[in-house]
Amino acid sequence: MTREEKRRLIEERHKHIREVLKKHGHDILESQKFHKTKHFIQHGDMTVYDHSLSVAERAIKINRFIHAKCEERDLVRGALLHDYFLYDWHIDGKDKGNVHPKLHGFFHPSTALKNANRDFVLTEREKDIIKKHMWPLTIVPPMCREAWIVTLADKYCSAMETLGLHKLKVRAIYIELPDDERE
């Protein structure tokens, strides 16, 4: 397979995953309230909005790769809303909604669940995904496979974002372009 073919394949897969996100989460993605997550930073320079989309994409990929047979709609919607806490956790105690500034890691799943319950209709699986995504901090483990997959996807994406490796990956796809043109 040439670099160009490989690049096209990656782009097609990425486009397909984005279509799956839109299919299951269009009301969330179109919601003005969800767009507020664009104003909050999650890790590095990654917004909560971009992080949530990345986690949803990664969760779909893991589910399909290991044939976990998750309910994809719950997986996508739970992943999109898993960090719907709607405050800047970097501003120590000064942002509205950050009720336990020193313990953001422990408390933000319940805040996200409260907000998501208020703004969207959630299934039991989606609630479990949001509530347990910080396991083992939550102590009680996830009760469905969808929540396990999102927990794993979230840890993977968070590590990549914290280390700045998600940018290298994006760059690696597009850096190949000039080489491809020379072939």
Nearer to Fe ion, 128 or 154 (CB): 154
Closest alpha carbon to 169 in 183, 151, 156: 156
Nearer to Fe ion, 83 or 126 (CB): 83
Tell me if 154 contacts Fe ion by CB under 5 A: yes
Q: How far is the CB of 78 from Fe ion (least distance, A)?
A: 11
DSSP H/E element including 46:
strand 46-47
CA distance linking residue 88 with residue 174, whole number of Å: 31
> Which region among 26-34, 115-123, 148-156, 175-183 touches Fe ion (by CB under 5 A)?
148-156
Nearer to Fe ion, 119 or 180 (CB): 119
For residue 35, the SS3 value is helix
Which residue in this structure is represented by tokens 């104003």? 39
Joined tokens for residue 143: 């009760």
Enumerate residues 59-98 that contact Fe ion by CB under 5 A. Answer: 83
Q: How far is the CB of 131 from Fe ion (least distance, A)?
A: 11
